[in-house]
Amino acid sequence: MFKLSASKRKKIDLEAVYQFSRSSGPGGQKVNKTETRAELHWDLLSSEALNSDQKTIVARKLKNRLNKQGILVFYSDQYRTRPQNKEQCFKNLVESLQVALTKPKPRRKTKPTRSSVEKRIKEKKQLGDKKKMRQKVD
């Protein structure tokens, strides 16, 4: 898996913009009066943390998360406190970037084993014999 360096994480954290709103998550009556839901906005296109190749890869792989302005948005109302939700948003962003920037393993062509080929041919012959037995006798 691709790992973001500490310096890139720091740049991303500095570029990220956080907004807070009322949460629908756990917290009882406190939910109605405190703004603990965190919302992270990160501008992918103007970011200095990633190079242009990485930006195009991320834009292609996370196109469903990007809005029209090219901003990635993450929400969290999982926890009761603002700092925990803020941290969760940032973790989700970093995790998404790492998954998007991970190169897939190249596929290696493989041949079927001799026994699997023989088994397939044997089963085909059995099916053919069964169908021959169903035919009318001359």
Q: Is the pLDDT of residue 25 over 80?
A: no
- The whole-number pLDDT of residue 129 equals 93
The answer to whether residues 79 and 85 touch, using CB atoms and an 8 Å cutoff, is yes
- The whole-number pLDDT of residue 103 equals 86
Residue type, 26: P
Q: Is the pLDDT of residue 137 over 70?
A: yes
More confident residue, 19 or 41: 41
- Tell me the C-alpha distance between 80 and 126, whole Å: 65
Residue 20: pLDDT band with limits 50, 70, 90: confident
- Mean pLDDT computed over every residue of the chain: 82
- Tell me the C-alpha distance between 40 and 20, whole Å: 9
Per-domain residue ranges for the chain? 6-101
In CATH, what number does 6-101 get?
3.30.160.20
More confident residue, 133 or 28: 133
List the one residue out of 73, 87, 70 whose CA is nearest residue 36.
87
Instruction: Write out pLDDT tens, residues 101-123.
Output: 888 889 999 999 999 999 999 99
- The whole-number pLDDT of residue 122 equals 97
User: If you average pLDDT over residues 72-92, what whole number do you get?
Assistant: 84
Instruction: Write out pLDDT tens, residues 26-77.
Output: 666 666 667 777 888 888 887 777 788 888 888 888 888 888 887 888 888 7
